């Protein structure tokens, strides 16, 4: 589905409403089944739902220290990712929350113990993620001083499984200023804060994390607007813009540009499905654009190479962006991006930062979401049903080399910059949370 239809939005709303009255576990289960049944689909609804449920986990699950909170969150996150592995945003949001908890924990501890906490990197700095763990280990040392060393062990063993890469990284990296402070302890096998706060500290942490998650939610809701802000820069008067199955983000972007510029839009339509007529696709979008004086042409071609010699820019709304810069988008967009490359048209990808995933696929076909085969072929069509294998792809991966620019809510980026954006937003130790969590008891 190219866009979130009303029905799905309704399901999301219903789910969000149900959150209040339900037990935590029940809400998680209902979200999992909603995801599995594709009743919540599309990256934005999935991200919102994930943020909400994680907020509930933080607010309502039982945890007495940072570690147990991290475990709770990542365990829930893992279940959500398993429910819908194709929606990379779910994992992204979980990682963001995990990183947030780690940050808040380190800050809190800093306040409680050491002045050096003020040196804790803010997420906007481009700092190797390990420096944070270094901070942690140093601080842990400080706080451990005051308590007994016996309080350390509980979780060390489990976390140690992810430590080697960290210390390796540390060995290789040019050290940040805290180096001297840390060096004796960096191999001690624990970045885990063995910080056992008292009730008030836990309360403070809880509210901080909740605030953080609210911020993430705000960010998601503002993404479209912020992306649209750069529309005028990208779209020039007289351009011929090709839009493939516009998502709400893309529509917003084009409409914003339409306020200032006169251009022509080619709308690449989704192929007509058996069940519903193709006529109503994007009708309101068309109406709004025509009202703004922008000509819209609905293009009913699968391959768009024929049009590309005229097209100036291709705008694609991403469902997710993987670490290599490859873009998961609606089926058919890879062919369009390829055609644009052929004729030298720029390919612009619109994606909120929350869609940028630190994962990178080993195999590009693993990110294809296969749809219902009866979308295009009727089950009453005997020879086809029995004789042929029908493949209906809903999403596919656009190879990174076909994409020129990524526009996010933080601005316009090139592919080379994506890795630092990933480093800014996710902690290295959370990158594989959905894998290492298995090792936990």
Partner 1 sequence: MAAEGGQPAPKSEAPEKKDQAAQADQKKADQKKASKDQPKAGAAAEPAGEKKLSGAELKKKAKEEKAARRAAAKTTQPQPPAGAPAQSDAKSGSKPKPKQDGPGQAAAQHGKIPAPRSAAPVTAAPKEVKPSIPDYFSHLAMAKGVNITHADKDVHPAVLVLGQQMSTMAISDSTTRLEATLLAFKKVIDSYTTPHGTTLSRHFTSHVLNPQIVYLTACRPMCFSMGNAIRWLKLQISKIDIDMADSDAKKLLCEAIDSFIHERITLADLVIVNTAADMIDEDDVILTYAHHHLVERALLKAKANGKHFKVILVDDPFERVGLGHVKKLTAAGIPVIYSPDFGALRTNLQESTTVLVAAEALFSNGAMYARAGTCDVATAAFDLGMRVTSLCETINFTERVSIDSLTYNEIDPERNTDEEFRLLFDTTRDKYISAVVTELGICSAKSVPAILRKLEEL
- Residues interacting with partner 1, by CB under 8 A? 240, 264, 271-272, 274, 277, 279, 283, 286-287, 290, 295-310, 331-332, 334-335, 338-339, 342-343, 364-365, 368, 375-377, 381, 383-384, 386-396, 399
CB of 398 to partner 1, least distance (A): 9
Q: Which is nearer to partner 1, 167 or 343 (CB)?
A: 343
Residue nearer to partner 1 on the CB measure, 389 or 416 = 389
Q: Whole-number minimum distance, CB 384 to partner 1, in Å?
A: 6
CB-nearer residue toward partner 1: 341 or 413: 341
Contact 95, 433 (CB under 8 A): yes
Residue 101: closest CA among 216, 220, 219, 222: 216
Q: How many CB atoms lie within 10 A of CB 145?
A: 10
What is the C-alpha to C-alpha distance for residues 110 and 287, in angstroms, rounded to an integer?
55
Name the nearest CA neighbour of 133 among 96, 77, 176: 176
Cβ proximity to partner 1: between 216 and 308 the closer is 308
CA dist 184 and 187 (Å) reads 7
Using CA of residue 24, residue 27, residue 218, residue 127, what is the dihedral sign? positive
Pick between residue 338 and residue 413 the one whose CB is nearest to partner 1: 338
Q: Report, in Å, the least distance between residue 323 CB and partner 1.
A: 19
Supply φ then ψ for residue 329, to 5 degrees. Answer: -145, 175
Taking the complex as a whole, the smallest distance from the CB of residue 334 to partner 1 amounts, in Å, to 6
| Nearer of residues 55 and 304 to partner 1, judged by Cβ | 304
Q: How far is the CB of 352 from partner 1 (least distance, A)?
A: 23
> CB 90 → partner 1: shortest distance, Å?
22
Q: Return d(Cα 30, Cα 384) in angstroms, integer.
A: 36
DSSP 118-164: GGSPPTTS---THHHHHHHHHHHHHHHHHS-GGGSGGGHHHHHTTHH
Task: Single out the residue of 370, 358, 242 nearest to residue 307, CA to CA.
Answer: 242
């Amino acid at each position: 589905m190219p866009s979130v239809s009303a029905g799905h939005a309704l399901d999301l709303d219903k789910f969000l409403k149900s959150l209040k009255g339900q037990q935590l576990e029940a809400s998680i289960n209902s979200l999992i089944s909603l995801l599995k049944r594709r009743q919540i689909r599309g990256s934005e609804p999935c991200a919102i739902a994930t943020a909400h449920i994680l907020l509930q986990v933080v607010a309502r699950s039982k945890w007495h220290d940072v570690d147990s909170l991290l475990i709770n969150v990542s365990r829930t996150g893992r279940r959500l990712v398993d429910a819908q592995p194709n929606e990379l945003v779910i994992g992204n949001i979980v990682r963001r929350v995990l990183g947030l908890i780690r940050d808040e924990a380190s800050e809190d501890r800093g306040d409680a113990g050491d002045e050096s906490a003020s040196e804790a990197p803010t997420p906007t700095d481009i700092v190797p993620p390990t420096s944070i763990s270094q901070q942690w280990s140093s601080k842990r040392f400080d706080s451990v001083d005051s308590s007994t060393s016996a309080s350390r062990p509980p979780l060390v063993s489990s976390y140690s499984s992810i430590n080697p890469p960290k210390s390796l990284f540390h060995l290789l990296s040019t050290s940040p200023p805290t180096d001297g402070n840390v060096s004796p302890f960096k191999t001690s096998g624990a970045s885990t804060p063995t910080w056992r706060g008292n009730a008030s500290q836990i309360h403070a942490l809880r509210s901080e994390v909740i605030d953080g998650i609210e911020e993430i939610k705000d960010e998601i809701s503002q993404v479209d607007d912020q992306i649209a802000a750069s529309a005028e820069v990208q779209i020039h008067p007289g351009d011929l813009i090709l839009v493939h199955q516009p998502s709400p983000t893309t529509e917003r972007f084009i409409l914003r540009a339409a306020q200032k510029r006169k251009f022509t839009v080619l709308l690449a339509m989704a192929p007509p499905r058996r069940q519903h007529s193709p006529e109503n696709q994007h009708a309101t979008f068309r109406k709004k654009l025509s009202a703004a004086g922008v000509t819209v042409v609905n293009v009913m071609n699968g391959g768009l190479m024929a049009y590309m010699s005229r097209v100036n820019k291709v705008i694609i709304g991403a469902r997710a962006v993987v670490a290599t810069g490859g873009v998961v988008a609606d089926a058919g967009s890879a062919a369009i991006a390829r055609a644009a490359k052929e004729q030298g048209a720029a390919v612009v990808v619109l994606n909120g930062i929350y869609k940028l995933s630190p994962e990178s696929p080993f195999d590009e076909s693993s990110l294809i979401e296969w749809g219902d085969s009866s979308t295009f072929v009727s089950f009453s069509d005997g020879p086809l049903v029995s004789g042929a294998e029908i493949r209906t792809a809903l999403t596919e991966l656009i190879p990174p080399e076909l994409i020129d620019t990524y526009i996010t809510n933080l601005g316009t980026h090139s592919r080379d910059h994506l890795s630092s954006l990933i480093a800014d937003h996710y902690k290295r130790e959370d990158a594989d949370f959905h894998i290492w969590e298995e090792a936990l008891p």
